[in-house]
Structure 1
Amino acid sequence: MAGKRRKFDAEFREGAVRIVAETGKPVAQVAQDLGINETTLASWVSRARRAGGAGGVTATGESEELARLRRENAQLKRDNKELAMGRDVLKRCMGAPRSSV
Structure 2
Amino acid sequence: MGRVYKAEFRHEAVRLALSSGLSRERIAQDLGIGSSTLKKWIRDAQQHDTVVADATDHAALLLENERLRRENLLLREERELLKNDPGRLSACAA
TM-score, normalised to structure 2, is 0.51
Question: Aligned residue for 2:13?
Answer: 16
Question: Aligned residue for 1:88?
Answer: none
Is the 1:53–1:60 Cα contact (8 Å) retained in structure 2? no
Q: Deviations over 1:74-95 (max 9, x none)?
A: xxxxxxxxxxxxxxxxxxxxxx
The count of corresponding residues between Structure 1 and Structure 2 is 54
Q: Deviations over 1:35-65 (max 9, x none)?
A: 10110010000111122221xxxx389xxxx
Q: Which has the larger radius of gyration?
A: 1
Distance 1:47 1:27 in 2: 15
Q: Please say if 1:49 is aligned against 2:54.
A: no
Q: Deviations over 1:5-58 (max 9, x none)?
A: 21101010001001011112221111000010110010000111122221xxxx
Q: Structure 1 regions of 5+ residues with no counterpart?
A: 62-101
Alpha-carbon spacing, 1:7–1:22, altered in 2? closer, same or farther (3 Å)? same
Q: Please say if 1:6 is aligned against 2:8.
A: no
Question: Aligned residue for 2:69?
Answer: none
- State the Cα RMSD in Å: 2.0
Identity within the alignment, %: 35
Alpha-carbon spacing, 1:49–1:24, altered in 2? closer, same or farther (3 Å)? farther
Alpha-carbon spacing, 1:6–1:18, altered in 2? closer, same or farther (3 Å)? same
